[in-house]
Amino acid sequence: MYGLEKQKKGQKFQFDLELELKKGPEKVQKILKSTEDRMNEIKSVLREGKVDKKQLDEYGILLHGYAALQKVIKKVVKS
């Protein structure tokens, strides 16, 4: 189910992001930079204040998601 049937027994499951990050430090830096760029775009939109309450909440959720993604990437790279 969900592609796990192709996995051999005893083999540890890895997420696609983990596999991408193992390709090298350039790939890690590229992903972190794009994440930071997107966070900066969201922050600039929020600073302008031209969004309604619903959009404000959605942008806040996105911002928290990108921050969490950065934390996960840094943890995976450490280990």
* Residue predicted with more confidence, 22 or 40: 40
**pTM attached to this predicted model:** 0.74
DSSP conformational letter for 10: T
User: Confidence class of residue 44 from pLDDT cuts 50, 70 and 90?
Assistant: very high
Rounded CA Rg of the chain = 17
Which of 46, 42, 30 has the alpha carbon at shortest distance from 66?
A: 42
User: Which phi and psi angles does 34 have, rounded to 5°?
Assistant: -65, -35
Q: What is the reported pLDDT for 12?
A: 79
- More confidently predicted of 16 and 59: 59
Q: Where are the domains of the chain?
A: 16-78
pLDDT over 90, % of the chain: 41
Tell me the average pLDDT across 65-77: 90
Q: Tell me the CA distances in angstroms from 13 to 16, 26, 41, 73, one per residue in order.
A: 10, 24, 34, 17
